[in-house]
Chain A
Amino acid sequence: MADIASDFDFRSWLSRKTDVQATIRESNYSSWFSDRLSGTRMQGLYSKLQSAKGEDQKTAALLEGHAAMVLYSTLIYYVYPSMPSMKREIDSSPELRQNFSRLKGWFDQNGGSRIADDFYRELVNTIAERRSG
C-alpha cells in the first residue's frame, strides 16, 4: 500500500493534481496518524504560525492549519468509522492509536465533525454559486 502521507503537505493539498482513483485505491489513511505527520508536521505548522511576519504570512499559516483540521476531522469522524481496514491498522498500533486518540480528544471538545461538515457545506455552496453565477 502506498504511503501518500509520507509526501503529504497540507499546503499542497490546495494545488496538487491527483489521479483520484489511483490515490484512493492506494492510500494509507492510517499513516496520517504517525508521529511524524500528526506530531512533527503539526509542530512545524505551529512554528510557521508563530514566526509569521505580517498578516499575509499569518493568514497563510492559519489556512494551512485549518486545512489540517478539516482533513483530520474528516478522517476521524467519517473515514475511520466507515473503513474497517483503517480502523484495524490504527487500533493495532500503539503509535497510531495514541495519536488518533489525542487528535480525537481535541476534536471531541472543540467541534468534532462540525469542522468538516461546515467546510464541505461551504465548499458545495461556493461551487454552486460559481456555477450559477
Chain B
Amino acid sequence: MLAMLGSGFLVSLQIFFLTLLGSLPLGLVVAFGRMSTFKPLSLLVQFYISIMRGTPLMLQLMVVYYVPYFGFGVSMGDGYRFTATIIAFIINYSAYFAEIYRSGIQSIPRGQYEASGVLGYSQAQTFFIVIFPQVVKRILPPVTNEVITLVKDTSLSFVLSVPEMFTTARAIAAAQKAMTSFVVAGVFYYLFNLVVAAAMNLFEKKMSYYHE
C-alpha cells in the first residue's frame, strides 16, 4: 500500500511543481493585464479572474478535460488527463497569484517609482531592479497560503482519474474496504505541507535582511 501511495505521491508532486512553475510567472503576466491602462484588456482579465475564483476548481478541471471533445469533437489520448489537470491548475492558480502580485505591486510607495524615474531607470529596470524584489518580500505570506492550499488541491484531480495520491488512496480504500489508506494519505499531505511551510518560513527569514 505504501509503495502505491508513494508513487501516487510522486504524481501529486509533479502536479504541484508544474503548477507552480506555470502559474507563478503567468500570474505576473495576468497581474499586468489586470493593471493595464488599456481598459478592454483590464476588463477581460478581471472577467477571467472572477470566473477562476468564482467557480469550483473541480468543475474547471472537468471543463478543461471535456472541452476538446464536446467543444471541438477532438478526442485526446489518455495522456490528456494529466495535461488537462496541469492546464486547469495553472490557469486557476495564475488568477489567484495575479491578485496577490497586484496587491504587492500596488503596495509599493509611489516614491520608489519616482526615485527610479529621476535616477534614469527605464520602466523595465524600475520594475525588475527596484519594485519586484520588494514585492516578493511583501507577498510571501499570502503566497505561502496559496502554495499550501495547492498541495491539498492536487487531490481534486481524482475527478479526472489522474493516478495521484488521493485517487490511489480511494482505490485502495475501495479494494480493502478500509480507510487506512486515507489516513496514510492524510499524513503524507500533512508532512509535505510541514516541509512547504518550513521552506517558505526560511525564505521569509532570508528576505528579512531589510525592513521598511
| A and B from one complex | no
Give the interface of A toward B (CB within 8 A): none
Give the interface of B toward A (CB within 8 A): none
